[in-house]
Structure 1
Amino acid sequence: MTNSVWFVAIGTLLILMGTRPPVLQRLNLTPSMVYLSVGVLLGPLMFGVFHFNPLKQAHFLEVLAELAVLLSLFIAGTKMPVPFSWKAWRVPMRLAFISMTITVVLTAFFGYYLLGLPLGAAILLGAILAPTDPVLATDVQVRHMGDTDPLRFTLTSEAGMNDGSAFPFVMLGLLLLGSPLSDELLGRWVFKDVLWSTASAIVVGLVTGRLLAQLVRGQRSLERTVPLLDDFLGLGLIGLTYGVCLLIDGWGFLGVFVAAISLRQSETTLAQAEKPGKGAETAAASFDQPSETIRHLPTEVSKGSLMFKESLERLSELVLVVLLGGMLFDDSWSFRAVGLGLFLFVIVRPASVFLGLIGSGAPWRLQILVGWFGVRGIGSLYYLMFAVVFGLPEELALELIHLTLVVVVLSIIIHGLTVKPMMTRWWGL
């Protein structure tokens, strides 16, 4: 495709989605399903106008997916309506760490025993497909600041955390592909990739978010007439937090999500401290009272930068999913790949949610819906491309690309077709 054709295609698609024609609304098509359809029509499966080779363009796709996930994590973090407490966050934390670990184990079992993958590759496959996606799951994510719906809160905070908590298993799989399993390897992995990388990312996120809130509050108190560029400040926080995490071997995705939460909560706390007696009443989200609402104190950078970043997130979703459609061929739909996808959605996700939430007190109805909406998407593409760029053998890289792409496409279709009916039923009960 020439540049002119690309401009026409993307421009037409943007206008189509911007006008929201009634036919798309009646069909209950999610944006991702529309983008995927366009990619399939233009790609090798239909007209063959373009073909995107993920193996040859692995580094470009890695960077593109990385940016999309970072933006989505920041947006999700700034929308979190609940100040951190174990009672309010116990369910998503269990999902992000316990359920995600169970998902890796069960998927690795499938890959090792049924797909015949080496142990390291099977664990890597489990880690690639374990995290739920903050980009493609916008229909089941927190919609705005103040949205305290327990299902949306649970899925959003889970996706924000497990994009970082999956990284240790990615590294374990890559390590086992290069070295045999040993106590020394496991010990080094636990200390460096699990404990240090997770803890350091959380600390960096907490500190950078808090410092930016204090810096902006101080500057605005001194120069109230000088407007600040909230978009630049938000993007700067993403870059600073992610860069520091990379420098000290912390998990940057987790750090950015924590930084966004820290920024918003710090802004709220500082605003309340400046106006004693006039602060907003804050209520923690309750899983038993989904209709409970919160009145929020005015936020600043976290609120002012949202509109711009949400537009960037939607644009990155469009580009990546159209490219995804251009990666598919007639022989993409193997029994191995489709079987893996169905196993992941029908067995692994519900089982991991049930086991991870034992004793949590979460209602059954919430567990059932969370057990279904384990959307896989751009996060999985990023981890896949990270592994390819890391140096996977070409044959193994092609196998993992094939399996991952089919699972992501199945997720877009299956979850996309069921999200609106199930969410409508959730609100109606």
Structure 2
Amino acid sequence: MLENYNLFLLICGIAFLFGALFPIMFKRLPISLPMLQVSFGMIMGYWWTTLSFLNPLDNGFIIEKLTEIVVLVSLVGAGIKIDTALTWQLWRPTVRLLLITMPIGIFAMAFLGYYAFGLSMGAAILLGAVLAPTDPVLASSIQVGPPNTGGEDAPRFTLTSEAGLNDGLAFPFVYLAIKIAEAYSAGQHFNGEMLWSWFTHDVLWKIGAGLVVGVVVGKAVAKLIFSKRTRGTAISQGYVVIALTLLAYGLAEFVHSYGFIAVFVAAFAFRRSECEHEYHHKLHDFAEQSEGLLMSLVLVTFGMFIGQGLQSGVELTWRVYAVSFTFLLLIRPIGGFIALSGLNMQRTEKYAISALGIRGIGTLYYLSYALNQGFFRDEDAIKLWVVCSIVILISIFIHGLSAPKLLQMTISKERR
């Protein structure tokens, strides 16, 4: 890879140029920026035969840390942009998606992974856990707009808040998969005592502590930034975004809780302080641009990985495509409809929210994190990478083509 470093930088530069010119050159085409960048990466990976193979099993640590940064920046951006106040009535659709839709997705994919691909129990649960969350990075195009711009409709708000919280809430199931795999690798059975330890520590403590850390950090940073001493001072939004992200994430991880939850909650708590202040708009702009740059880098590399796989003849059975389409077109939409049933929402809104569960960079992070623990068999790891990569690729194209029409359909229905 190092011998092709300069050429790789050139390819990334072209991808960044696509991002800069996309609103001008491609606005009339029914494609999204992720579709364009992944396609470009696939072409480069397929034809650039001198590039070292981007084997995810050999580069798991790099994948984990790079995708971790992208998700963190995306989470803080999502939290800052939400205008909707924290009330039960407005957040009820989000809570239902988290407590109903996501578990349905986890267990449905675990079932398919176990019986369709012959994965071990731990690997099957891991497959469900990494694919269940709606991705906060690739879903940014269907989220709410910048702070205080108005027009925060129910589908966009629900998808934004879901993507902000479900990344952290998927982690308990990732840890469950890791602990099951660890037990079986040591020749033990995953028993009731281990399950209780998982529930009390990885579910109750880590989620609760993550929420508390997020609120404390968000309120503390907001009090400092909006204090009388600093009110008239020009404070760099870049420093504040990074500080808010790293303080929340670092403190949450220090107390052994979920940093992803803490970062989103910290950003939202910061946003609710002086919520009409124009400074939030500046923070959002910085976070959005940073996220876009990092996303471009990951998407082009991901595309190159897919292209290399196709060029090298990686076997893709019909089961991979069947399960991928089943998950994206049936399991997620049905799970969404079940969760949103009974709510006072239009049918078009429910359908848009249920259908637009985009999968993406968060999946790559969770998968690399879990596999880096060293408890999963290489055979299972290869299957997991193949299935997850195809699901993400299909999601990028299906949701990239359908999202504008689905959201426009809900807006048109409201105007009637």
Question: TM-score scaled by structure 2?
Answer: 0.91
**Structure 1 pair 345/233, CA: closer, same or farther in 2 (3 Å)?**
same
1:26 alignment partner, SS class: coil
- Identical counterparts, % of pairs: 35
1:212 is the counterpart of 2:196: no
Matches within 5 A, 1:371-386: 371-386=354-369
Once structures 1 and 2 are overlaid, which stretch shifts more, 326-335 or 365-374? 326-335
Q: 2:267 is matched with which residue? A: 260
2:10 alignment partner, one of 8, 11, 24: 8
1:110 alignment partner, one of 109, 112, 130: 112
Q: 1:324 is matched with which residue? A: 302
1:151 is the counterpart of 2:144: no
1:404 alignment partner, one of 388, 394, 398: 388
Q: 1:298 is matched with which residue? A: 277
What code does the residue aligned with 1:377 have?
G
CA offset digits 1:116-140 (Å, max 9, x no partner): 2121111111001000111111221
2:136 alignment partner, SS class: coil
What code does the residue aligned with 2:371 have?
V
C-alpha contact (below 8 Å) 1:205/1:258 kept by paired residues: yes
What code does the residue aligned with 2:296 have?
L
Q: 1:87 is matched with which residue? A: 89
1:349 alignment partner, one of 324, 329, 332: 332
2:27 alignment partner, SS class: helix
C-alpha contact (below 8 Å) 1:267/1:299 kept by paired residues: no
Give the Cα separation in 2 of the matches to 1:150 and 1:332.
Answer: 42
What code does the residue aligned with 1:378 have?
I
C-alpha contact (below 8 Å) 1:97/1:162 kept by paired residues: no
Question: TM-score scaled by structure 1?
Answer: 0.88
1:190 alignment partner, SS class: helix
**Structure 1 pair 159/182, CA: closer, same or farther in 2 (3 Å)?**
same
1:315 is the counterpart of 2:293: yes
1:168 is the counterpart of 2:146: no
What code does the residue aligned with 1:257 have?
F
Deviation at 1:353, TM superposition (A): 0.9
CA offset digits 1:220-244 (Å, max 9, x no partner): x125553222221221111011011
C-alpha contact (below 8 Å) 2:224/2:230 kept by paired residues: no
What code does the residue aligned with 1:155 have?
L
**Structure 1 pair 128/225, CA: closer, same or farther in 2 (3 Å)?**
closer
CA offset digits 1:291-332 (Å, max 9, x no partner): xxxxxx2243x3332222211100111111111112121235
Q: 1:276 is matched with which residue? A: none
What code does the residue aligned with 1:259 have?
A
**Structure 1 pair 299/347, CA: closer, same or farther in 2 (3 Å)?**
same
**Structure 1 pair 223/108, CA: closer, same or farther in 2 (3 Å)?**
closer
C-alpha contact (below 8 Å) 1:76/1:134 kept by paired residues: yes
CA offset digits 1:65-102 (Å, max 9, x no partner): 00000000100101111110111100011112221111
RMSD: 1.7
2:166 alignment partner, SS class: helix
Q: Unaligned stretches of 5+ in structure 1?
A: 269-296
What code does the residue aligned with 1:82 have?
T
Deviation at 1:16, TM superposition (A): 3.3
C-alpha contact (below 8 Å) 2:19/2:296 kept by paired residues: no
Q: 1:366 is matched with which residue? A: 349
Deviation at 1:27, TM superposition (A): 2.3
